[in-house]
Amino acid sequence: MVFDELRIRNASIRPAHILAPMAGITDTVFRRFIKQLRGCGLIMTEFVSSEGMIRQNLKSQRFLYYKDEERPISAQIFGADPDHLSEAARMIEDLGFDLIDLNLGCPAKKVVKCGGSGLLRDLPLLGRIFSRIRSSVRIPFTAKIRSGWSDDEIVAVPVARMAEECGVEAVAVHPRTRMQGYSGAANWEIIQQVKESVRIPVIGNGDVTTPQAASALWERTHCDAVMIGRAAPANPWIFRQMMDYFATGTFTEPSDADRYQLIRSYYAMLVEESQPGAIGKMKQFASWFTHGVRNGTDLRRRVQSAQTTGEVLDRVDQFFAALFNTDEQFHIADPPSSHNESFHNRGCLVH
């Protein structure tokens, strides 16, 4: 079956669907939420600064918090100092992570200044970094790269080959340049070129927003796994949809009731765990979770104007009660895993 399993040494990723690391999004609550919806084989932390880890920065420590139910889990780090990166890598291994990943893809200016996709312009330094991290840890070591700095500096193939030579055990390829950022189309041909150039697993990433797109990615590149980034907050069911589509040729679209359960359950997790900035997270995710909801603009407006987490929950309940044309106030307390039953019972079938 397409993207059935990815093995990176002793790590079994099944199905071979990976949640991409995303700053401000993939914290422990969102990662567990995605896991509970099923279909995601590997989750990754937000990228963490090696410098912040060495200084024992509180933000870095928070980014690296996880629970056993999130396994297998990979921690992604960034930086440009080989010694500091190797020290940070050892710290990550000591924290019990299953894998470690090096960020060579972030296009943000503040990250490029000290790592990220900026390292794609200094391959000798990047080679030293690969070797130092590899010699520092025993857990599987992977890297996420872009196609290059610009259209005139496409380096995905030589970087992947160097990574393999240095002992990196898999590479994820986002086939846009740093100069592109997230604009334009992802050039899947580059993923294919990398796949044909190395023996280690290649993970495809970029412009996969539907199960059909994931299938097209595999047909075009024969990559070993698919990584989903920005599509996941807008459609957290995408991992389960891919699993169903590859097994049966069909998948279900969520109903309004499913979307209500999704929003209410995620918000409840934030409140129950007393997450810092919970109301900010609620407002942030309202912009994504309300896509596809009838009158979703009104729901977003209600959430954005709320002053407390309790007020957000009440407004969500009231909105959907009115949407379902009933006076009943819904108070769903089931864990997010219960979404799967309603998802299949009420969803709309897509071929």
Among residues 149, 72, 350, the alpha carbon closest in space to that of 235 is found at 350
The conformation of residue 289, written as its DSSP 8-state character, comes to: H
Which DSSP string corresponds to 187-248? Answer: -HHHHHHHHHH-SS-EEEESS--SHHHHHHHHHHH--SEEEE-THHHH-TTHHHHHHHHHHH
Structural tokens at position 36: 């509970």
* Dihedral sign, Cα of residue 111, residue 13, residue 212, residue 291: negative
- CA–chain centroid gap for 275, Å, is 20
325 token code pair: 């044309």
The catalytically annotated residue of 106, 114, 223, 348 is 106
For 145, the 3-state DSSP assignment is strand
- Rounded to a whole number, what is the distance in angstroms from the first to the last CA of the chain? 17
CA atoms within 13 A on the CB side of 58: 1
Residues 82, 53: Cα–Cα separation, whole Å: 14
What is the helix (H) or strand (E) element at residue 60, kind and residue range?
A: helix 58-63
Phi, psi (degrees; rounded to nearest 5) at 194: -65, -45
Strands (E), 45-85: 48-49, 73-78
Active site residue 166: no
Q: Which residues are catalytic?
A: 106
